[in-house]
Structure 1
Amino acid sequence: MSEGSKLPFLPFADAAGRAAYFEAAYLKQLEVNKALEQRIIALERQAALNSKTSSQPPSSDGLKKPPAQKRTQSLRGKSDRKTGGQPGHKGKTLRQSSTPDHIIHHYPQVCDACGAALSASMAENTVVRQVVDLPVPPPSEVTEHRVHLCRCGQCDAVTRGGFPEGVAGPVQYGPRIAGIASYLQTYHCIPEERLSLVLSDLFGLSVVPATLARLIGRTADRLHPFAKAICKGLIGPQVAVKHLDETGFRVAGKTQWLHVICSPLLSHFRVSSRRGDLLTGVCGLVVHDHWAPYFKMEGVQHALCNAHHLRELQALIVIEKEPWATDMKTFLLDAKAVADTRTDDCTIGVGVMGELLQRYDDILTQAVDFHEAQPPLQAMSKAGKRRGRPKRRTGHNLALRLQTRKSEAIRFLTDPNAPFTNNEAERDLRMGKVRQKVSGCFRAVRGAEIFCCLRTVTCTARKQGWSVIETLMKPSDQLIAQLRFG
């Protein structure tokens, strides 16, 4: 045996002590191996998650494409409908106008048969084709306001007229330019440098980024009362169902949180330094994604987002291959189909409801029994001592959550006003993440607050069916008077 391969000296008095030492070391190594095996399984699961099996965005999937036969996996499952537009869908097909702006006549010059000359007076029929295009953008208009000084004929005093509200400097940009700039930057996430180029190329305006920032900031300040009115309406009883969500936001080099509360007609955004900084005084039904602090809200009912549940179940089906997950996914889709057939005059029958509830309980009982029959997971702290409750598998946690929060998970069945998902809030938050990807972050809190205010106004205007540009030009009190809550 070489000098480097010698075993270390072990100070044991006899062979029995040496055997006990190696037995204890062997048992300890078994525990370590089991813990490492579970850690490998957890890391492999994390690497296998994608936008179909978790809340990760599709952009996180990267350039890797699944096999062709699996590219169109949908959590909604198959249906008996044909692809494309369904009966009754109006669509937005480009149609010919009955009052064209310009008409150009095209006559044949010679006869195709004999070569004789032809004229316009010989026309018998007409075939029409139209081309829809945009006119050349007109040059900017300059409106001059002249304030006159008039001398009184009785007392000889000189009185000066007043400029309209908002006309403050010798020369300035008007509200339409400010509205277009606010719309393009906030709703379409165009940075100020590129926005300056857009205005120059489209309208011939030479507006530097600093001026654009001032225009957009003043627009947000003017519309701040309208944004506050939207928030107040969403919190109060005027809106029966509210959707809540939040996402991380980089502001001034720190992680902040973009919160949204919305409905099909209203949206309100705000930025906060704490994720748990939730609104107070909210009433009605709140829909969210099971984040624990939402359950601390007082005076509200809760409904959980089943799109999240479907993605978690899909992960259990694809990765862990747990049989109960397929049954629960099928149940949720079947229950949604039943809920979608409900109308004001037709509710879900007592028998059908009872069968659905019993089916829900049976699936979760099967799931809990399945996991309780599995060997326990190895959960050890760095010191080697167990702490807290026993570690559970992902599927076990989901099954227990669905059992504990049964009324919230299936509220879409029992409450006609409750939606199946929280997609209303998810859609509203999506462009906030796009803005962060485009610009990286906000350099100051002021910029984030301007974004939230104008995003509140533009999203609400879109939902209300208003012209977004005209909305950004109007005063807050006029917009508040036109606001519809439900």
Structure 2
Amino acid sequence: MEENVIFEKNIELSLPTDIVSCHKLILAQQEMIELLVAQNQELTDRLSEMEVQQKQLLGKVTALETRLNQNSKNSSRPPSSDGFAKKPALPRQSGKKRGGQSGHKGKTLDMVAHADHIVPLAPNRCVCGYDLSGIHKQVIEKRQVFDLPTPKLEVTEYQLQSCICPACRQLQVGQFPDSVPARVQYGPGVRSLSVLLNNGYQVSFSKIRRFFCDVFGYELNESTQVSANHRCYEALQSSQQRIQQELLQSPVNHFDETGLRVVGKLHWLHNCSNAKFTYLFVHAKRGKKALNDPASLIPAYEGWAVHDCWASYFGYESCRHAVCGAHLLRDLQGLIEQGSHWAARMHDLLLYAYHKSDRGQCTVPDMDCLYRRYDHICYLADQEEPPPQYRYKNKRPKKSKGRNLMERLVRYRDAVLAFAKYEAVPFTNNQAERDVRPAKTKQKVAGCFRTLPGAQVYARIQSFLSTTRKHQLNVFNELVATFGGSNFLVAPGGC
């Protein structure tokens, strides 16, 4: 009878004595080898899959850690998203005391040449008892108090009069001004204050009503405030056209966009501005559809367009492009915190060029050297951030943030270094970011715009308010003038 073969450790094996048994043993061993090879291949495949899964999980963990560690210093997130954690104190290396330094230009309340009210403080009687009422006195010192008058609404009554002409005996009746269409209404001052509070200071309608009740004793209802906004919007049409004309003629403009919630959906507030003028418009899209809209200025603009490297802007070749250096520095800082070496070198190079250009006020002397260093760092970045391998023919692999940033730096090199080559080009796009920031505050207060026309009304009014402030004019007075049919933008001999 054939002997059983047992493959176990520490058990003595007995070999078959006949050829048939040997043949069967060989076949059994071959089957066992094939089984072990199959099992080994299966384990190898499973190990490979687990290694791939491990890499994917490590990538996800790294991405989550990167998102968790993002703040306003190493990404494009706003400072309001940083939370309330205490920021680390910066090392004090200057040795100077805190606060204002000796000799710095301060700001204080100065006396005016002509006061509204004068209160003489004359001595009436001498300490010896002599009457000083008839004695000439001189002013030896002045002190002034700046205060608000008692707030009240002034009521102007228009009385329509009639008479009989003594010559032709016909009845002649006067006419009310066009600004007085109803029996009772609020004047341009009240409407201007309502518009300014709602759009300039982001105060809600309910709080404006409470403010008027507390201060003036009149409740300004919501419909009156909405009507004031719409009347101001219509009155500012020619002013907006003037702003557009000035921006199209400007050698440098800043472009940016920020999200707005309108009727529960995401819309975009687009900005074009410079140091003197601000233009805002609302659109449902962020990219080409919005930029090709008749409300957009960039298709007809031929100067320098400074922006944050949004790809849609580069499709317009009529203008020259410059990329915001502050955005690049933040993105590079995020990579530095992940251990990137090339990002640290590029970060230092951009700061070097920034300081060499006197903080964006002049050009860098040796641009050829700057270009060579820039290209060399991009080469190192390409070695450190290789392109991802294609595992599937129909699925493009996801690039790392470092790879994406490196490719942007290579593709838009001239736009990145434009500030160093051209004196008129600034290093950052901070002007545009400052001009869209009030809209974010408005959205935090209101939550969203309930209608698209309401958002468009806000955009036009905010454009005018920002432009007025940039010209250092009294915003309230210019709003009153706007309701009167004119302001500094459209008046003859204006700005």
After TM superposition, the score normalised by the length of structure 2 is 0.80
Deviations 1:153-203 (A, max 9, x none): 455443433222221111100001111111111011000000111222233
The question of whether the paired residues in 2 share the 8 Å contact of 1:239 and 1:485 is answered with no
- Note closer, same or farther for the CA distance 1:79–1:348 as it changes in structure 2 (3 Å cut): farther
Indicate yes or no: 2:136 matched with 1:133: no
**Equivalent of 2:282 in 266, 271, 285:** 271
Deviations 1:365-388 (A, max 9, x none): 23223323xxx75887xxxx3655
CA-CA distance at 1:253 after TM superposition: 1.2
> In structure 2, what is the equivalent of residue 92 of structure 1?
107
> In structure 2, what is the equivalent of residue 208 of structure 1?
221
Please give the alpha-carbon distance, in whole angstroms, between the structure 2 residues aligned to 1:270 and 1:241: 19
The question of whether the paired residues in 1 share the 8 Å contact of 2:363 and 2:422 is answered with no
Bigger shift: 86-95 or 360-369? 86-95
**Equivalent of 2:367 in 346, 353, 365:** 353
Indicate yes or no: 2:440 matched with 1:433: yes
1:473-484 → structure 2 map (5 Å cutoff) = 473-475=480-482, 478-482=487-491
> In structure 1, what is the equivalent of residue 26 of structure 2?
none
Please give the alpha-carbon distance, in whole angstroms, between the structure 1 residues aligned to 2:97 and 2:424: 29
- Note closer, same or farther for the CA distance 1:51–1:119 as it changes in structure 2 (3 Å cut): farther
The question of whether the paired residues in 1 share the 8 Å contact of 2:478 and 2:487 is answered with no
Please give the alpha-carbon distance, in whole angstroms, between the structure 2 residues aligned to 1:286 and 1:147: 56
Bigger shift: 50-59 or 213-222? 213-222
Please give the alpha-carbon distance, in whole angstroms, between the structure 2 residues aligned to 1:144 and 1:32: 82
**Equivalent of 1:307 in 297, 301, 326:** 326
Please give the alpha-carbon distance, in whole angstroms, between the structure 2 residues aligned to 1:396 and 1:254: 32
Please give the alpha-carbon distance, in whole angstroms, between the structure 2 residues aligned to 1:79 and 1:364: 35
Please give the alpha-carbon distance, in whole angstroms, between the structure 1 residues aligned to 2:38 and 2:440: 63
Q: SS of the counterpart of 2:236? A: helix
Bigger shift: 324-333 or 123-132? 123-132
Please give the alpha-carbon distance, in whole angstroms, between the structure 1 residues aligned to 2:90 and 2:100: 23
Indicate yes or no: 2:191 matched with 1:178: yes
> In structure 1, what is the equivalent of residue 415 of structure 2?
408
- Note closer, same or farther for the CA distance 1:64–1:341 as it changes in structure 2 (3 Å cut): closer
The question of whether the paired residues in 2 share the 8 Å contact of 1:54 and 1:308 is answered with yes
- Note closer, same or farther for the CA distance 1:215–1:347 as it changes in structure 2 (3 Å cut): closer
1:34-433 → structure 2 map (5 Å cutoff) = 34-69=55-90, 90-97=105-112, 99=114, 101-103=117-119, 105=121, 130-137=144-151, 139-234=152-247, 236=248, 238-276=249-287, 277-278=290-291, 279=296, 280-317=299-336, 319-340=337-358, 348-349=364-365, 352-372=366-386, 385=392, 387-433=394-440
- Note closer, same or farther for the CA distance 1:485–1:27 as it changes in structure 2 (3 Å cut): farther
CA-CA distance at 1:240 after TM superposition: 1.3
- Note closer, same or farther for the CA distance 1:118–1:135 as it changes in structure 2 (3 Å cut): farther
CA-CA distance at 1:285 after TM superposition: 1.2
State the AA in 2 paired with 1:311: R
CA-CA distance at 1:97 after TM superposition: 4.5
CA-CA distance at 1:362 after TM superposition: 2.7
- Note closer, same or farther for the CA distance 1:129–1:225 as it changes in structure 2 (3 Å cut): closer
Percent of residue pairs identical: 34
The question of whether the paired residues in 2 share the 8 Å contact of 1:464 and 1:484 is answered with no
Please give the alpha-carbon distance, in whole angstroms, between the structure 2 residues aligned to 1:130 and 1:170: 42
CA-CA distance at 1:482 after TM superposition: 5.0
- Note closer, same or farther for the CA distance 1:154–1:119 as it changes in structure 2 (3 Å cut): closer
Q: SS of the counterpart of 1:320? A: coil
CA-CA distance at 1:292 after TM superposition: 0.7
- Note closer, same or farther for the CA distance 1:196–1:119 as it changes in structure 2 (3 Å cut): farther
Q: SS of the counterpart of 2:84? A: coil
The question of whether the paired residues in 1 share the 8 Å contact of 2:360 and 2:420 is answered with no
The question of whether the paired residues in 1 share the 8 Å contact of 2:363 and 2:421 is answered with no
- Unaligned segments of structure 2, at least 5 residues: 1-32
Indicate yes or no: 2:491 matched with 1:459: no
The question of whether the paired residues in 1 share the 8 Å contact of 2:363 and 2:419 is answered with no
CA-CA distance at 1:146 after TM superposition: 2.5
State the AA in 2 paired with 1:219: C
How many equivalent pairs are there? 449
> In structure 2, what is the equivalent of residue 4 of structure 1?
none
Deviations 1:447-484 (A, max 9, x none): 11111111011111111222111111224554433599
After superposition, the CA RMSD in angstroms is 3.6
Please give the alpha-carbon distance, in whole angstroms, between the structure 2 residues aligned to 1:268 and 1:120: 68
- Note closer, same or farther for the CA distance 1:425–1:88 as it changes in structure 2 (3 Å cut): farther
**Equivalent of 1:448 in 455, 465, 468:** 455
Bigger shift: 399-408 or 174-183? 399-408
Please give the alpha-carbon distance, in whole angstroms, between the structure 2 residues aligned to 1:13 and 1:438: 73
Please give the alpha-carbon distance, in whole angstroms, between the structure 2 residues aligned to 1:99 and 1:429: 40
CA-CA distance at 1:64 after TM superposition: 1.7
Structure having greater relative contact order (Cα 8 Å, sep ≥ 6): 1
Bigger shift: 302-311 or 473-482? 473-482
Q: SS of the counterpart of 2:490? A: helix
The question of whether the paired residues in 2 share the 8 Å contact of 1:378 and 1:391 is answered with no
Larger radius of gyration: 2
Q: SS of the counterpart of 2:357? A: helix
The question of whether the paired residues in 2 share the 8 Å contact of 1:245 and 1:425 is answered with yes
Q: SS of the counterpart of 1:249? A: strand
> In structure 2, what is the equivalent of residue 29 of structure 1?
50
Bigger shift: 16-25 or 431-440? 16-25
Q: SS of the counterpart of 1:480? A: coil
